[in-house]
Amino acid sequence: MSVAVAMYDKSFEHIESRLNALNHDIVVHTFGDDGQFQINGAAVAPGDVDVDYFWLSSHVNDGKFRGKAFNLVLDCKSVGVLQTFNAGLDNPAYKKISDKGVRICNSSAQAVAIAEYTMAHVLSLYHPIDLQRSQQADKTWKSTPFRELSQTNWLIFGYGPIGQELSKRVKSFGASTSVIRRSPATSDVVDRAGTMADLETFLPDADIVVLACPLNDDTRGFADTRFFAAMKKTAILVNIARGKLIDDNAMISALDDDQLAMAVLDVFHTEPLPENDLLWSHPRVRITPHTSYAGNGARGRSDKLFLDNIARFLKGEPFPDEVPPQDIV
The residue annotated as part of the active site, out of 13, 148, 271, 317, is 271
3-state secondary structure the chain: CCEEEEEEHHHHHHHHHHHHCCCCCEEEEEECCCCCEEECCEEECHHHCEEEEEECCHHHHHCCCHHHHHHHHHHCCEEEEEECCCCCCCCHHHHHHHHCCCEEECCCCCHHHHHHHHHHHHHHHHCCHHHHHHHHHCCCCCCCCCCCHHHCEEEEECCCHHHHHHHHHHHHCCCEEEEECCCCCCECCECEEECHHHHHHHHHHCCEEEECCCCCCCCCCCECHHHHHHCCCCCEEEECCCHHHECHHHHHHHHHCCCCCEEEECCCCCCCCCCCCHHHHCCCEEECCCCCCCCCCHHHHHHHHHHHHHHHHHHCCCCCCECCHHHCC
**Active site (annotated) includes residue 322:** no
The residue annotated as part of the active site, out of 121, 169, 242, 301, is 242
**Active site (annotated) includes residue 290:** yes
**Active site (annotated) includes residue 286:** no
The residue annotated as part of the active site, out of 282, 290, 312, 322, is 290
Which residues are known catalytic residues?
Answer: 242, 271, 290
